[in-house]
Amino acid sequence: MRKIRVVIAKPGLDGHDRGAKVIARALRDAGMEVIYTGLRQTPDQIVAAALQEDADVIGLSILSGAHNSICPRVLELLREKGLDDVLVVVGGIIPEVDVPALKAAGVAEVFPPGTPMQQIVEFIGGRARARLEAV
């Protein structure tokens, strides 16, 4: 079976990329193929990257409060491109009150500040492997 492929993206105007980079390295060290998009990606650019890279997973890092506008847009575009089965996870500063709506929109999991890297690696590893086996 090929390696799990993860696109890590920083949407919006924010440049705080410490979390995105730390997670990208942790996933790579766990044996996954990680593509980091760099900063200030629009939802269109993120979905295009996922398509081009044949990604199993998109990890969005959002700290600025723009998640309610950005995440549903990414999921909508994924559906338009027939990529509904790509796992979308979000990390960053996401108020708890927003989590149910994000999950209803199709976000698989939200990782708040202080989440152990291992927990994220295991979640993504488990869910993405299931997807790869199904393909």
Partner 1 sequence: MSTAASAAPPTRERWERDVLEPALARSPERQVSFTTVSGREVRRLYGPDDVADLDYGRELGHPGQFPYTRGIHETGYRGRLWTMRQFAGFGAPEETNARYKALLAAGGTGLSVAFDLPTLMGRDPDHELSLGEVGKCGVNVASLADMERLFDGIALGDITTSMTINSPASMIFAMYLVVAERQGADWTRLSGTIQNDILKEFIAQKEYIYPPRESMRLITDVFAFCAREVPRWNTISVSGYHIREAGATALQELAFTLRDGIEYVQYGVDAGLEVDAFVPRLSFFFNAHNDFFEEIAKYRAARRLWAEVMRDRFGARDERSLKLRFHTQTAGVSLTAQQPYNNVVRTAIQALAGVLGGTQSLHTNSLDEALALPTAEAVTIALRTQQVLAHESGVANVVDPLGGSYYVEALTRDMREGARQHFDTIDGMGGMVAAIERGYPQREIAESAYRFQQAVERREKIIVGVNDFVAGDTTAIPTLYIDERVAEQQVARLEALRRARDGDRARRALDGLRAVAAGTGNTMDALLECVRAYATIGEMCDALRDVWGEYEEEPFI
Enumerate binding residues for partner 1 (CB under 8 A). 12-18, 21-22, 24-26, 28, 34, 36-40, 42, 64-70, 93, 95-97, 112-114, 116-118
CA distance 126 to 95: 26
Q: Smallest distance from the beta carbon of 130 to partner 1, in angstroms? A: 25
Query: Measured from the CB atom, is 67 or 128 closer to partner 1?
Result: 67
Nearer to partner 1, 14 or 53 (CB): 14
Q: Which amino acid is at 121?
A: V
Give least dist CB 38 to partner 1, A.
Answer: 3
Least distance to partner 1, CB of residue 2, Å: 19
**H helix runs in 1-135, sequence order:** 18-29, 43-52, 67-80, 99-104, 117-134
- Provide the angle, in degrees to the nearest 10, between the axes of the packed helices 117-134 and 18-29: 60
Residue number, 18 or 135, with CB nearest to partner 1: 18
Closer CB to partner 1, residue 6 or residue 78?
A: 6
Closest contact distance (angstroms) between CB of 132 and partner 1 is 22
- Other Cβ atoms less than 10 A from the Cβ of 7: the count is 27
Burial of 113 (0-12, 13-18, 19+ CB in 10 A): exposed
